[in-house]
Structure 1
Amino acid sequence: MDLPFDPYSIAYTSLSLICALLIFKILAREFVEKLGMKKYHPIAGTIFNQLINFNRLHHYMTDLAGKYKTYRLISPFRSEIYTSDPANVEYILKTNFDNYGKGWYNCTILNDLLGDGIFAVDGEKWRQQRKVSSHEFSTKILRDFSSTVFRRNAAKLATIISEAATSYQTVDIQDLFMKSTLDSIFKITFGVELDSVCGSTEEGRKFSNAFDDSSAMTLWRYVDIFWKIKKLFNIGSEAELRKNIKVVDDFVYKLIQSKQEKICKSKFDLDIKKEDILSRFLLVRDTEPKYLRDIILNFIVAGKDTSAAVLSWFIYMLCKHPAMQERIAQEIKEATNMKEIKDYAVFAGGISEEALEKMQYLHAALTETLRLYPTVPVDAKICASDDTFPDGYSVKKGDMVAYQPYAMGRMKFIWGEDAEDFKPERWLDKNGIFQQESPFKFTAFQAGPRICLGKEFAYRQMKIFAAALLSHFVFRMSDNKKAVNYRTMINLHIDGGLHVRASRRSGQRKFTCHYNF
């Protein structure tokens, strides 16, 4: 079908106008500053610099953070302020929290994928979901149910690693973590056994791939000034995004409908279990499918990508630091105190809360991984009204304001001269006990009213998986010469996966796993 307008001609015309607008905005701001009316953060570039450096975006922004604690990038419609200053971060996330929300700009970009979920909204919708989610995460039922799910899936993963070790095969450990944590979060949110880690469902594989691609293309919108035009004409990346989101939606709505029918048939059964999150939502409140879809997808974002990404970077760090890998394995052995192990399920099932609490060095190593490789490398807000930061510089209403967990983890003025070194010991006191840092310095879980509700949930999952694997296997890179880098998307995935070889620890034999706990 012939379009009445040529979208590419529109794009070129728009680009010319945008360049003129950028020049005007820069000159106008500089004029205001010279009059002494306002003082704005230094200009470090434009949004086009982000576009040029998109594949190394966090390296680029870390370089800028090293020159300026806080800086501006000029875009056509607003300034974008990026800060790595803990005082500014505390001001944004806590002190003047009400002035910095997702705003219309972020909500518009995120809406197609995340809808009205907790990560994409402000105001009453956010408060309502925060309240409900806070209650759910604090229930003993969900805590116990999730721990059982984590142990079972960790055991299944150990069996797959064992088979690879026997046949001397290389595995993509990130892919396995992604599938395994997806299985975990699906069981916890939907009450459904997805079993993607064993490849038994093609639908699950398609959903996972579509979800990851949707995440990458959603982030691309932040640097693609033509994304709305592409969406209007359904071309390029926006056509791909629409296709992937349809795969996601079809899968999720099918599960919601199935759960609704099951609950409807069992509504007179007083013994019906309310362990999974979807069942609990459906049983206690009348919620339309679209809102349920948004809530559940946001839970999946929080539970799948985050833990899997951290565990992948964690294994990468341990491959680079084999002595630390051995130290963690020894700590797990002492904490679990398991001398006779019959199979992987028995071992994983025996990883108690008390044992996890004893794994202080493991906790420190996971936290150090998060410091250098935070799951959300940049988090953006919108300024609701003109304001002044603690550093004395002004921000304008409508400016995008972002703090940078990835860059902050590498700042020497925050962490010292060894900021770029992987050093779990920085989190331990003289007795080897884990010590928290200010959440405005270590921003991996946000801070203030929006601090991550699933923080302890995530640590429990990561420690169970790490304990189940490192107690039995030694991991090494399949190719030490191959560069490891991130994929630029909402979460910090390893680009192309992490390919490793696993071998059994000395004295370990091949076990079985019956998944019977």
Structure 2
Amino acid sequence: MGILEYPLISLIILCITYWYFKNKCTKSSSVPTNWPLVGMLPGIIQNAHRVHEYLTSILLETGYNFEFHGPVFANMNMLFTCDPANIHHILSRSFSNYPKGPEFREIFDILGNGIFNVDSELWEIQRKTTMSLMNHAKFQTLLERNAWDTIVKGLVPILDTFAEQDILFDLQDIFQRFTFDTISKLLLDHDPKSLSINLTHVPCEKAFNDAVDAVLYRHVLPKCYWKLHKWLQVGKEKNLMKACEAFDQFLYAVMSKKHEKLMNNDIKEEDHDFDLLTDYVKAYNQCTNGDNASKLSSVQEFLRDTFLNLMFAGRDTTSTTLTWFFWLLAKNPLVEKKIREEIQQQLHLKEDENLKSLFDIEETRKLVYLHGAFCEALRLFPPVAINHKAPAELDVLPSGHRVSPNTKILLSFYTMGRMEALWGKDCLEFKPERWISEQGGIKHEPSYKFPAFNAGPRTCLGKEMTFIQMKRVAATIIYNYQIQIEEAQTISPTATVVIRMTNGLKARVVKRASL
């Protein structure tokens, strides 16, 4: 029996063939073809390896809003937007109507009941606790001590060794190790020593990359597809499961040791009245009162989720920004020269003096041009390149789009940094000057225009902490060394929620004293 004896199959084949040849002859735009049955999914899959650039070209062509039609019965219809008015509406003005929701928590199930995943009272308690801790004077002291200790005992010795031996290394890997060690010491009072001369393999540190690699695919592929992969334990879902195991093994072991130290009163005298683990246990007890009791399991799981969320924030965003920042500097040597001159002037260094001593928070605020350069890196390569939202109730966006609770909305922060309407015709250029006011201070932009740290009530709590840490790392490297980026390499952002460099950043380092 021939295929033509099946009328439905024949009709489908004829329709697809017609659509294919029609679009092949007329296609000149970036907008994917809306095929029968499968919708626009083939276009997304074809460009999955460059999804951020692809979505940017679509959004710029369609006027900042694009309605994606998924396969029939897959419940994958989505609205992609980079419209600042929509961003402001969703993240700020109508915040209460755009909770994380069950679908977000399912996609990011690895984060459990941490601050990034929960809503309402659970989120408010965790945010209030985290803000209180971060504003504590002892936290600021601990942050300064741990960050500078990791720079002096971890980062500098490695760069010195690489410089002496003229080694080609992955700068992105070094920054990931640096931020992982720093955040582990800060939150857990544990140094995993991944930033050692022999670059020890630490499973938990590498698991972060596997985790974020899988999450974006859950956004743009049918749920049944990635759930099948999860059930079969194959592909990116297999890697995600291994990452989850690595996180659990690391966190539960470290928390157990920390709890034992607390029970034995084996803690430093200066930290006796301040301990993050103890304070989050108090937050757990507060969370389990009343209606929230059924939403949480054990205190150990709550602490695991809490610390994992904070480690994601402290490790990935900072290391990603530092990597893109030094690549942009290598392409703009004049900017690097101006930063070096600013460091020397503001920190009162002599011509041939190395930057070796800790400079305080007030001194970091004097590095205005360096701050502007980091804002440019964040504008062009926001660490969290895309955000997922869905309304709790029917809503109409400022763009006129009607969105229901079944509508998945993806906010493209990556695209926003490439919009002429927001940043001018030079939007693709790396210009720290755009962040400096006429009076010589930092020029602040509204978060719905510059959402690198999110916007509205969920704005990143560690924004200032991140800038302080990045400035110290950058100042130490720029003033004491010269990073030479290997020319024979392809640089592109990963197709992930947190955009790293796909193949890392190969570089050599030279001590400035030897130049």
Q: Give the TM-score normalised by the residue count of structure 1.
A: 0.84
Shift of 1:368: 0.4
Q: Distance in 1 between matches of 2:455 and 2:329?
A: 28
Establish whether residue 332 from structure 1 lines up as the match of residue 343 from structure 2. Answer: yes
Asked if 1:487 corresponds to 2:504, the answer is no
Distance (whole Å) between structure 1 residues aligned to residue 234 and residue 412 of structure 2: 32
Give the 3 Å change call, closer, same or farther, for CA 482–201 of structure 1 in structure 2. closer
Determine if the alignment matches structure 1 residue 499 to structure 2 residue 506.
yes
Matching of residue 96 in structure 1 with residue 94 in structure 2: yes
Match of 1:137 among 125, 134, 139: 134
| Amino acid of the structure 2 residue aligned with 1:168 | D
- Please, which of 192, 202, 206 is the counterpart of residue 205 of structure 1? 202
| Secondary structure of the structure 1 residue equivalent to 2:202 | helix
**What does residue 432 of structure 1 align with?**
440
Deviation per residue, 1:57-76 (Å, 9 max, x gap):
00001001111211111232
Residues 1:71 and 2:66 aligned together: yes
Is the partner of 2:315 in helix, strand or coil? helix
Matched to 1:176, the amino acid is: I
How many Å separate the matches in 1 of 2:204 and 2:381? 25
Match among 163, 167, 170 for residue 169 of structure 1: 167
Shift, 1:120, TM fit: 1.7
1:373 to 364, 374, 381: 381
Q: Which amino acid aligns with 1:264?
A: M
Residues 1:201 and 1:264: Cα distance change in structure 2 (over 3 Å) = farther
Q: Which residue of 2 aligns with 1:8?
A: none
Q: Which moved more, 1:457-466 or 1:228-237?
A: 228-237
The DSSP-based 3-state class of the residue aligned with 2:447 is coil
Dislocated runs of 4+, deviation >6 Å: 267-271, 340-344
Q: Which runs of 5 or more structure 1 residues have no equivalent in the other structure? A: 1-15, 24-41, 511-517
Per-residue deviation, 1:162: 2.0
Identify the residue that residue 456 of structure 1 maps to in structure 2: 464
Cα shift readout 1:290-347 (whole Å, capped 9, x = no counterpart): 1100000000010011001000000000000111111111111112113399976xx2
Instruction: Tell me the CA shift for residue 134 of structure 1.
Output: 1.4
State the AA in 1 paired with 2:182: S
Tell me if structure 2 keeps the 8 A contact 1:260–1:282.
no
* Contact 1:259–1:279 under 8 Å retained in 2: no
CA contact (8 A) 1:410 1:419 kept: yes
> d(CA) in 2 for partners of 1:421 and 1:306?
22
Q: Which amino acid in the other structure matches residue 70 of structure 1?
A: N
CA distance in 1, matches of 2:426, 2:198: 45
Offset at residue 430 of structure 1 (A): 2.3
Partner residue in 2 for 1:323 = 334
Distance in 1, matches of 2:166 and 2:258, equals 42
Shift of residue 269, structure 1, vs aligned partner: 9.7
Bigger shift: residues 232-241 or 270-279: 270-279
State how far apart, in whole Å, the 1-side matches of 2:186 and 2:365 are.
Answer: 23
Q: Select the residue among 440, 448, 466 that pairs with 2:474.
A: 466
- Letter of the 2:490 counterpart: A
Q: Indicate if the aligned counterparts of 2:388 and 2:411 stay in contact, CA closer than 8 A.
A: yes
Counting only pairs closer than 5 Å after superposition, residues 341-490 of structure 1 correspond to structure 2 as 347-349=356-358, 351-479=359-487, 481-490=488-497
- From 56, 62, 70, give the equivalent of 1:62: 56
Opposite residue 136 of structure 1, the aligned amino acid is L
What 5-or-longer segments of structure 2 have no aligned partner? 1-8, 17-30, 35-39, 286-297
Contact 1:364 1:434 in 2 (8 A): yes
Report the CA distance between 1:375 and its aligned residue: 0.3
Whole-angstrom CA distance in 1 between matches of 2:258 and 2:52: 41
- Match for residue 257 of structure 2? 258
Q: Is the 8 A contact 2:213 2:236 kept in 1?
A: no
Instruction: Map 1:225-304; keep pairs closer than 5 Å.
Output: 225=222, 226-266=225-265, 273=272, 275=274, 277-282=276-281, 286=285, 288-304=299-315
Q: Find the residue that maps to 2:390 and give its secondary structure.
A: strand
TM-aligned CA distance change 1:188 to 1:268, over 3 Å: closer
What code does the residue aligned with 1:486 have?
P
Partner Cα distance (1:260, 1:399) in 2 = 44
Distance (whole Å) between structure 2 residues aligned to residue 478 and residue 348 of structure 1 = 30
Q: How far off is 1:139 after superposition? A: 1.4
Aligned counterparts of 1:232 and 1:50: Cα–Cα separation in 2: 24
- How many angstroms apart in 2 are the aligned matches of 1:114 and 1:240? 15
1:208 positional shift: 1.1
Question: Is contact 1:190-1:279 (8 Å) kept?
Answer: no
Structure 2 CA distance, aligned partners of 1:266 and 1:283? 18
Q: In 2 relative to 1, CA 80–348 (structure 1 residues): closer, same or farther, beyond 3 Å?
A: farther
Q: CA deviation at 1:357?
A: 1.2
Q: What do residues 118-157 of structure 1 show as CA deviations (whole Å, max 9, x unaligned)?
A: 1122222212211111111211211121122111222231
Change (3 A) 1:60 1:185: same
1:394 deviates by 1.3
Give me the whole-angstrom Cα distance separating, in 2, the residues matched to 1:96 and 1:184: 36
CA distance in 2, matches of 1:92, 1:162: 47
| More RCO (CA 8 Å, sep 6+) | 1
* TM-score normalised by length of structure 2: 0.85
One-letter amino acid matched to 1:84: C
Question: What are the superposed Cα offsets for residues 446-505 of structure 1, whole Å, 9 maximum, x if unpaired?
Answer: 1111111110011011001011111111222122x4221112222111111111122222
Pair 1:181–1:401, CA change in 2 (3 A): same
Contact 1:186 1:300 in 2 (8 A): yes
Which segment is superposed worse, 353-362 or 367-376?
353-362
In the superposition, relative to structure 1, how do residues 295 and 274 fare at CA in structure 2: closer, same or farther (>3 Å)? farther
The answer as to whether partners of 1:101 and 1:382 remain within 8 angstroms in 2 is: yes
Deviation at 1:274, TM superposition (A): 5.1
Q: Could you tell me how far apart the structure 2 residues matched to 1:425 and 1:145 are?
A: 33
How far apart are 1:246 and its partner, in Å?
A: 0.9
Give the corresponding residue for 2:319: 308
User: What is the identity, as a one-letter code, of the residue corresponding to 1:294?
Assistant: D
Q: Match of 2:194? A: 196
Tell me the equivalent position of 1:38. Answer: none
Shift of 1:241: 2.1
CA shift in 2, pair 1:262/1:458, >3 Å: same
